[in-house]
Amino acid sequence: MEPSQTIEDESQPSIASVTRRIQRLSLHLIPLPFLQRSPQLDMLTCAKANKQEVDVASLSSYMRGRHREIQEKIFDFFNSRPDLQTPTEISMKEHRELCLRQLFGLVREAKIKPFRYVVEDPAKYFAISEAVGSIDISLGIKFGVQYSLWGGSVLNLGTKKHRDKYFDGIDNLDYLGCFAMTELHHGSNVQGLQTVATFDPIMDEFIIDTPNDGAIKWWIGNAAVHGKFATVFARLVLPTHDSKGVSDMGVHAFIVPIRDLKTHQPLPGIEINDCGHKIGLNGVDNGALRFRSVRIPRDNLLNRFGDVTRDGKYTSSLPTINKRFAATLGELVGGRVGLAHSSVGILKIAVTIAVRYSLLRQQFGPPKQPEVSILDYQSQQHKLMPMLASTYAFYFATQYLVEKYSEMKKTHDEQLVGDVHALSAGLKSYVTSFTAKSLSTCREACGGHGYAAVNRFGTLRNDHDIFQTFEGDNTVLLQQVAADLLKQYKDKFQGGALSVTWNYLRESMSTYLSQPNPVTARWESEDHLRDPKFQLDAFRYRTSRLLQSVAARLQKHTKTLGSFGAWNRCLNHLLTLAESHIESVILAKFIEAVQNCPDASSQAALKLLCDLYALDRIWKDIGTYRNVDYVAPNKAKAINKLTQYLSFQVRNIAGEVIDAFDLPPYILRAPIAMQSEAYSQYTQLVGF
């Protein structure tokens, strides 16, 4: 349409406006023509030309993992028990009691006993955790507090005497417990905790005290109503005979009974209050704990990394407070691994609901023709198809993380411990932040129907939101990743070995940081852009440039601002570096998964998703690549066109790709994600 025509139409009767709107909307239905020399890619309509065949059963089998059987057992149990299913409308008090009954039903009726897998088979434990969180995220968190946090602290920080005494009670839920680390004034800065555990050598006991309001344990799951024990993190203080009178040995963990096992009343010296109604996760009873001279036996110190003898002497195989603290937190990374893994499970549910709705929902269309699926609109594809590709990417990345974590638990290899610590911090931060944004996007993509509580987006979004904060604030965790990268960078120049996930930095300091090749910077063929080597090189080049440049900036600013001031001056740069590195790891694992897939049709589908993930990320940061001439203007344009084309191709197989997640109807539950006949159920909700 010529500009002059547009101006004329503005003054015409309303039918002209309607015609113009239809013409504009129809533009969404016509994919941009790709490169001129690839006519087979020029499609004029949304007809399913060149649609790729996908063997859903084979792809699902590849995605299911080794522990699908126990997940199906969990789904079947809750599907058979309507009395244990969480209704759309429920009060906080009712939700808490339902959540407890769900947990008891899982363990005592369905006979799912996950505790031994925390150490023996973490992959199986995380598979159970994902399934439980799919039932109700509140249940997933309560489950995690009991087994991963409270139970995990006993297994990982304690010794044989603690396991012998508490294992069965934790396993069968007789000993419901809490993980009391966070305080009102200290969350991320665990070394700044103020709760005190002072040893009394006369009584052979520790005295747990909350010295001020800022030291009240806060947001403690299971504390408000159900918990009977707590692992309390406190500063271990020993009496000395010097002028100071005491010696602070740093933060340690202690088992503290908080309620009477028979009456369930708070024990003497323990004050418990309710943190009240929250934005989400109201099935979890978060509470606040204050300790007033609470005495516990010396044996209640979880003493794997440090112990106190009967005569009050401190012993440890680790020489410094910092090393003991690092070892303690290193054993607790399972919580981050679990959150990253569970976040992908929540993203699967949201993407499946949004994509299925978008396939079923029809709006507008060419003149005098039937309405078309809203997923045929380029704008809807742009919202959802890269997200679908990212869901697959995150799945493979978190599976890799679980494998490395399981290996770490078996070998206790020091280098692997450091690698898993940084990788879990990065993936937990990146994946949960992405999922949080995607939940809002999915809601918007489903229009007004997405706003109905029964269609789940509100609950999923509110319950998941805190994933960005607990087990480590995402911004703080990304800084840990950046700090580790800088350490690797420094070690590289000192001849040190690089940890497994960071190996590519060995090349990056030379190959990736050389001047971009002016020839390859202009290559724009489809084969080149879909080459995994080009994609991974581009990701790693960006990370390497960011690492080199931020190292130089830190060195410069440290001279005038000191190390803390320099870090703060470069903080946004450091966060971008960490995210870039994690994206490189995610892509590398996705490429490996594609290459290792045994079924040809599944491999082709995964290759399409992987290419979309890679090129979409490159396009979203195209300014970085253009700024250093890594990508020439013509190549940038080709990347944009190919990304749009790949979104269209993924749209053609979107139904099969989400079906491969194999999520049962009870887990989805949203009427808008069911076939059209489910709308009869939907209308009944409002009285028709």
Instruction: Return the structure tokens found at 403.
Output: 């494998």
Pairing of strands 287-291, 294-297: unpaired
CA torsion, points 183, 188, 190, 191, in degrees to nearest 10? -120
Between the alpha carbon of residue 147 and those of residues 142, 344, 483, the distances in Å are 9, 20, 31
Residues 6+ positions from 4 with CB-CB distance below 8 Å? none
> Which residue in this structure is represented by tokens 């533009």?
27
Instruction: Return the structure tokens found at 189.
Output: 């800065």
Task: For residue 158, report the phi and psi dihedrals to the nearest 5 degrees.
Answer: -90, -175
Task: For residue 561, report the phi and psi dihedrals to the nearest 5 degrees.
Answer: -110, -10
Instruction: Return the structure tokens found at 135.
Output: 């039932």
Rounded CA separation 180/377 (Å)? 50
Residues 6+ positions from 448 with CB-CB distance below 8 Å? none
Radius of gyration of the chain (CA): 28
Instruction: Return the structure tokens found at 622.
Output: 């195209």
Instruction: Return the structure tokens found at 674.
Output: 């069911």
> In which region does residue 32 sit, left (phi positive, over 0), alpha (psi from -120 to 50) or beta (all else)?
beta
> 388: helix, coil or strand?
helix
Instruction: Return the structure tokens found at 102.
Output: 């769900």
Q: Is 495 annotated as a binding residue?
A: no
> Which residue in this structure is represented by tokens 């031994």?
116
Contact 351, 384 (CB under 8 A): yes
Catalytic, 471? Answer: yes
306 DSSP 8-state letter: -
259 DSSP 8-state letter: B
Q: Is 450 annotated as a binding residue?
A: no
Rounded CA separation 686/70 (Å)? 37
Pairing of strands 246-257, 372-373: unpaired
Q: What are the beta bridge partners of residue 109?
A: none
State the alpha helices, DSSP H only, in 158-245.
160-171
Instruction: Return the structure tokens found at 178.
Output: 């809490």
Q: Given the residues 183, 471, 526, 583, select the one marked as catalytic.
A: 471
- Catalytic positions are 471
Detail the residues annotated as belonging to a binding site for FAD.
182, 221
Detail the residues annotated as belonging to a binding site.
182, 221
